[in-house]
Amino acid sequence: MEAQNSFNSRKNSGLKIVGRHVFNVWRLIRGEVALTNYGYCNVVFHVLQQRIPHYSFETLTKWWTDGSALHQSRVVKNYIHRVQYVLQLIESQELISRTSEFARVFGVDFFSVISRGSQYKVESLMVRLSKPENYIMISPSRAQVGGQRAAEVIPMVMEPESGFYEDPVVVLDFQSLYPSVMIAYNYCYSTCLGKLGGGTQLGVMKDYVVQDGILPLMQGHLQIAPNHVMYVNQEIRRSLLARMLSEILDTRVMVKKAMKEYPSNKSLLKLLDARQLSLKFIANVTYGYTCASFSGRMPGIEIADSIVLSARETLERSIRFVNENPKWNARVVYGDTDSMFVQLKGRTRQEAFEIGYDISETITRMNPRPVKLKFEKVYHPCFLVTKKRYVGSSYETPGQVEPIFDAKGIETIRRDGVPAVQKIMETCIKTMFRTQDLSLVKSYLVRQLGKILEGRVPVPDLMFGKEVKLGRYSEKGVPPPGAIVSARRMELDPRSEPQYGERVPYVVVYGDPSARLTDQVVEPKELLRNKDLRLNGEYYIRKHVIPSLERILQLAGADVKSWYDEMPRVQRAIPMTALGAAAATGGGGGKGEGGGRKGEGGGASSTSLAAANIVPSEQTAAVLAAQHHETAGIVANNGDPAGQGAGMPGSEVGAAMAAKGAGNDAAVRTAMGPLGPTGPVGPPKFKPKRRRGGKGFVSVGSRIDRYYQSQSCMVCSNLIVGKKSGSDVCLECSSEQGRVKSIFTMQNRLSNAEKQFRATVNVCSSCCRAAPSGGAGVVGVHGFVGKGPTSLSLVSSSLAGMGVGAGGGVGGDETGTELVACESLECTVFWQRRRAQDAAVVAHHQTERVMRELEELDF
């Protein structure tokens, strides 16, 4: 029973209801679509081309229990939509209709098509054919299967001549080679007479003996396979496998012909397509039935060796013929099981098509029917890397103008890396194919590597998604990163255990110099909770981008590693968060509203080297708390343009919004609590620790650049010279002539940040089936020009009207955060919204500080 339950959890749905088939649609989709993340929202997006929101269980629970009829209806609608999308997924992939058709062709029940293996289906057809011929299929024991001879032959896979091929390379493929060989040479259980000089063992039978007088009667009617196994020819007996495969292949040709005759009948096309796919499946797995040496139901290893060796000799004979024929002046540079790659040096693409068709026709005439060499395509140009790994610009017809990017076995189609590597690699290869200019490839690559280092690559493009199979890892070794992330998540919630084989997303962040990889992997949500974490660009570049590209581009003479070592390093300015900035400033008192500058109770303003002197106000602290409601446990209320927190649920937010005067930032920090905790798991861990000589907190393990004094002007970014420590504006920008320009610059910067934030909020609101957020619109200049004092209250009132604050459509009930409560980590718009929000918060802080300092200068 335990073994059965384990199998159900790994393969089936785990539920059984009498009279009902229970499908695990997640597992079925895994076999239909190749993705790096099989999360519900990601599958719907790639299969149905629709973006849907993802709400956390905490958000749904909060909506259901807060007593609001609107919220409860949204929870019900959310689950109704999920059920509807599951039905649409089943319909779009034709799971029911295709499985039904497979069951009819195979002759098995509906659920066995999904739950049983290929041997069961092949055997079902064989039994239906063997019964009229009075054959009885043997049923060997596990000991008999394990006691048969080992396989002696492997398919032919040439080591390719690795390199970059500018000349056309013709790809030729034997059509259904193994089934064709079984038909052509009459290989089968029913025609095999044993091995010459091989004793009495045949397959699983140890005492097989040919009856006396049979071999003399078969003189002239025997054919000896390359592995010295005897078979009678079709004149004596047509093999059962040959008969079955011939009918399958002929029927498939007939079905595909019928599909072309009725192109407008969609329902009939689906039916016929499912039928021809089932026939193709049986033809491809019949050879596997004969060579299943571990779990086989009726294996015949001698028959399997005959099939493989005959196919191998067919391919070798064809390669030798092509290389030695002076008519074509061609050379085979790679061969793999049933295909060969023929280089035509100095020929045009049109000549390559003509020669390719000629080769296929000539080789087909050399072999017995139905062995057929089929012309597949022309690569022009291409990279041949190693066995099973190549990529090229594919042309399938002479009239084709635009090539098809065709890759096998390289990182562009593998799912064990990150999307960023796939995109960069594909663009580099396409550029090389199109221009054959390494300088253009280098310039593009340097730009992309710079973006990774600067943090300008979307987070989903740097997310790994590898399968996790808990319970299969050794306790002696270090488990893979995905298993570590899953274990951390399960410490918080045991119900979050991933399904067997589920792809768990994770990212790699910067840690201590001596930290192991397992200490630097975190789940993507940690990037939202802890603003101190930064994606480890060096790791992604040196461990994934460079090795992947070097395997390809070094064949063209490029040294990707030296390109990276020689490129200039640029570190992008990364703004500090509310907690981080408050920690760095010391959280002391200070003059004016909001404090944060050098004052009576705090030390000098010391900030991150990347972002100069950014301290949050009460409005932005509130929106951060609303977006991180899972940490603060509160949601800001709409309709509070003054930012005072009136009518807001939760006294903590009200206290935070009302905090003004000396020590404002410290009051906000105290009322709101830490906005970005690392939680109990997820290294590197940052533990709050009080700093000597001040009221703020620092983070153990934080970056050293946090403690350097910043003297950059917030307006022009030039160094501040000639002013006291802690100033935010340089002499030129704070002069009488430069003040107007400074105000315009800061307001324009703030306005652009607001527009971007508003745009992403509107996109997310539409995805959540809500009206775009309203509010007071976009903040303008509001007359912040001219001489004399500039009122800071104008800035605050303007910010209250945008999405950064307690009102204006981001923190509210009807047009606020709850309508943008989506946490779909696979969605690029989600990360754009979070980045736009951070940019708006930073612009708000900087504008406040600059306006405050310019205001103080007038007094």
In a domain, 541, yes or no: no
Q: In the predicted model, is pLDDT for residue 352 greater than 60? A: yes
Q: What is the mean pLDDT of residues 509-524?
A: 91
What is the pTM (predicted TM-score) of this model?
0.77
Question: In total, how many domains does the chain have?
Answer: 2
Please write the tens of the pLDDT for every residue from 261-317. 888 888 889 889 999 999 999 999 999 999 887 888 889 999 999 999 999 999 999
Short-list 163, 160, 173, CA closest to 340: 173
Please write the tens of the pLDDT for every residue from 368-414. 999 999 999 999 999 999 999 999 999 999 999 999 999 999 999 99
In a domain, 172, yes or no: no
> φ and ψ at 766, to 5 degrees?
-65, -35
In a domain, 757, yes or no: yes
Tokens 């689906």 sit on residue: 270
Higher pLDDT, 425 or 617: 425
In a domain, 341, yes or no: no
Neighbouring residues of 566: CB distance < 8 A, sequence distance ≥ 6? none
Please write the tens of the pLDDT for every residue from 672-681. 233 333 333 3
In a domain, 364, yes or no: no
Higher pLDDT, 383 or 583: 383
Spatial distance between the Cα atoms of 547 and 193, rounded to a whole number of angstroms: 53
Spatial distance between the Cα atoms of 673 and 664, rounded to a whole number of angstroms: 14
Q: Amino acid identity of 278?
A: S
CA 791 to chain centre: 50
Q: In the listed set 51, 75, 93, which residue is the last one of a domain according to the structure?
A: 93
pLDDT band at 617 (very low <50, low <70, confident <90, very high): very low
In a domain, 480, yes or no: no
The distance in angstroms from the start CA to the end CA of the chain is: 83
Spatial distance between the Cα atoms of 500 and 471, rounded to a whole number of angstroms: 9
In a domain, 381, yes or no: no
Spatial distance between the Cα atoms of 466 and 479, rounded to a whole number of angstroms: 12
Spatial distance between the Cα atoms of 584 and 637, rounded to a whole number of angstroms: 30
> φ and ψ at 508, to 5 degrees?
-115, 125
* pLDDT on residue 811: 38
* pLDDT on residue 471: 86
Is the sign of the CA dihedral 731, 733, 735, 738 positive or negative? positive
What is the H or E stretch that residue 407 is in?
Answer: strand 404-408
Q: In the predicted model, is pLDDT for residue 453 greater than 60? A: yes
Higher pLDDT, 748 or 586: 748
pLDDT band at 727 (very low <50, low <70, confident <90, very high): confident
Q: What is the mean pLDDT of residues 630-642?
A: 34
Percent of the chain scoring above 90 in pLDDT: 48
Please write the tens of the pLDDT for every residue from 166-191. 999 999 999 999 999 999 999 999 99
Partnered with residue 465 across adjacent β-strands are 505
Q: Which domain, by its residues, includes 854? A: 578-858
pLDDT band at 612 (very low <50, low <70, confident <90, very high): very low
Q: In the listed set 93, 122, 140, which residue is the last one of a domain according to the structure?
A: 93
- Give the side-chain half-sphere CA count within 13 A for 279: 20
Q: In the listed set 61, 93, 125, which residue is the last one of a domain according to the structure?
A: 93
Contact status, residue 188 vs residue 241, Cβ threshold 8 Å: yes
In a domain, 479, yes or no: no
CB atoms within 10 A of CB 223: 14
* pLDDT on residue 4: 53
Quickly list DSSP for 268-290. Answer: HHHHHHHHHHHHHHHHHHHHHHH
How much of the chain is in helix, strand and coil states, percent to nearest 5?
A: 45, 10, 45
Please write the tens of the pLDDT for every residue from 220-240. 888 899 999 999 999 899 999
Short-list 678, 663, 586, CA closest to 618: 663
Please write the tens of the pLDDT for every residue from 599-610. 333 333 332 223
Q: In the predicted model, is pLDDT for residue 22 greater than 80? A: yes
Contact status, residue 386 vs residue 159, Cβ threshold 8 Å: yes
Neighbouring residues of 769: CB distance < 8 A, sequence distance ≥ 6? 53, 77
